[in-house]
Amino acid sequence: MARFESCHEYVLETISAMPEIITLKKITKNYVLGRVVIPALNNISLVIQKNEYVALMGPSGSGKSTLMNIIGCLDTPSSGDYILNGKNVSTLDDNQLAEIRNKEIGFVFQTFNLLPRLTAFENCILPLVYAGIGRKERDKRAMEVLDSVGLADRVKHKPNELSGGQRQRVAIARALINHPSIILADEPTGNLDSKTSAEIMSIFDEIQSRGNTVILVTHEEDIARHARRIIRLRDGLVDLDKVNDAAASHKLQASS
């Protein structure tokens, strides 16, 4: 570590060399239920650079899923600006958001969100069907991504014929099939045992090392350990935003 005084410095330099991919400016989100207004995010400003690996933490109800849904263009803020890859997406309508989402973002959920009647292969190609991509290309890409998550021999299985970890692999393959730049995962290991969680995390590690930006929500320190940056929310505010020294020193050793 000749050139750098500390891991922290190394990571800051590495990160700041990358272009901004996600810029949130004073994002507020209120849910309105009849006459009741529920504040979920309170004036959040954040910048995330390309190829960052971020763990979003915080107690239940602190706004993690709301923030992920906004970043993932599944929802829009009540106020504030969201600049995604240089484009202000906070004012787009549902159709425009769907298009951006399909192109730029892969989303992975705690409960996998697979369609039960479809096979692993069919679940995987859904984003390409929506994008109007032809059959030959769909088949080729589905085999590639299913192979990349270690499921080449399970393509014809339906979700109920797969283990939890295998289902999540299908969901990750589906998230990757459009070659998105950003992978978002909301508690992706929340329904998995610790051994399976570790296997799933090694897939996210690899996705990030290939150049993607990865943001994941987790309650577990063991999972957050994989990320280079930890952002903690509390009551809809950023309570902590720090370099994860454990992951940073790991990276430093690997590159020296």
Site membership for ligand ADP, residue 31 (CB under 6 A): yes
Which residue among 3, 34, 60, 93 contacts ligand ADP (CB under 6 A)?
A: 60
State the Cα–Cα distance between residues 18 and 182, nearest whole angstrom. Answer: 14
Asked whether position 154 contacts ligand ADP by CB under 6 A, the answer is no
The binder of 31, among Mg ion, ligand ADP, none, by C-beta within 5 to 8 A per type, is: ligand ADP
Amino acid letter, 9: E
Among 27, 51, 54, 63, binds ligand ADP (CB under 6 A): 63
Binding partner of residue 62 among ligand ADP, Mg ion, none, CB cut-off 5 to 8 Å per kind: ligand ADP
Residue 65 makes contact with ligand ADP by CB under 6 A:
yes
Alpha helical stretches, state H, the chain: 7-16, 64-71, 94-104, 120-130, 135-148, 164-176, 194-209, 221-224, 245-255
Answer for the pair 80, 28: CB distance below 8 angstroms, yes or no: yes
Nearer to ligand ADP, 42 or 181 (CB): 42
| The entry of Mg ion, ligand ADP, none that residue 40 binds, CB within 5 to 8 Å by partner kind | ligand ADP
Q: Are 101 and 181 in contact (CB under 8 A)?
A: no
Residue 152: DSSP 8-state: G
Among 14, 49, 62, 65, binds Mg ion (CB under 5 A): 65
Q: Strands 213-217, 53-57: parallel, antiparallel or unpaired by DSSP?
A: parallel
Count of CB atoms situated within 10 Å of the CB of 117: 10
For binding to Mg ion (CB under 5 A), which residues are involved? Answer: 64-65
For binding to ligand ADP (CB under 6 A), which residues are involved? Answer: 31, 33, 38, 40, 58, 60-66
